[in-house]
Structure 1
Amino acid sequence: MMKRSGTPSWLICFLYVVGLVSHCSSVVQMADLAEKDALLKAMFKPWKLAQYTMSRFFTTSLLGEHLGKSV
């Protein structure tokens, strides 16, 4: 899955998995986690991650078609 610009797809997926492991119940909590955790903060430093970044990524129609496929 390739994006034209912004935060790389793999990084958003990584944050989603970290959020699930951290028991975040919403993308808002996951975006907040990226701003509070030292390692995640360093990983996301070049990009401003907002809740709508994750919401848009996970509501796109391409997600279902490509997430389960191996490259």
Structure 2
Amino acid sequence: MNLQKPAFENKQHGPGGGIPLLKSLWEKFDLSLLFLQTGIVKHSGISGWLMSFAYICGLIAQKPSVNQNADFTSDSPILKVLLKGESISQSAFSRFFRNPLSGSSLR
């Protein structure tokens, strides 16, 4: 009996294919609550935990610069959904990481 060779589908994954897994781990460890407790609430109209999450997703996608990371948030369909259609600019990321945490115990 001759067996047929398996046919593998060539699945094309868009940018950010592992983001759902990272989001589930983020929720499991409740890192959003950690950001709220440290006083990082919103920056440029976007919650602090979401800014950090988007930046970490960009780093995992091997986007080393803030500019490339900002472009990644616009290119990734999953991040577009999480950000509710908004995009994070390079200057918003830069200001987010430059500003000290006001009222935080992490200083």
> Fold conserved (TM > 0.5)?
yes
1:41 matched to 2:84: no
**Quick one: distance in 1 between partners of 2:72 and 2:80?**
9
Q: Is the 8 A contact 2:66 2:90 kept in 1?
A: yes
Percent identity between matched residues is: 35
Q: Which one-letter code corresponds to 1:29 in the other structure?
A: Q
Q: Contact 1:19–1:30 (CA<8 Å) still a contact in 2?
A: yes
Query: Cα deviation per residue 1:20-42 (whole Å; 9 max; x = unaligned)?
Result: 11111111111100111110111
Partner of 2:62: 23
In structure 2, the partner of 1:8 is: 47
Distance 2:52 2:43 in 1: 16
Q: Please give the secondary structure, in 2, of the residue aligned with 1:61.
A: coil
Q: Aligned Cα RMSD in Å?
A: 2.2
| 1:58 aligned partner | 97
Give 4+ residue runs of structure 1 displaced > 6 Å after superposition. none
Decide which structure has the larger Cα Rg and report it.
Answer: 2
The runs of 5 or more residues in structure 1 that have no matched partner are none
1:4/1:14 CA distance change after superposition, 3 Å: closer
Q: TM-score of the superposition, structure 1-length normalised?
A: 0.76
Question: Where does the alignment leave 5 or more consecutive residues of structure 2 unmatched?
Answer: 1-39
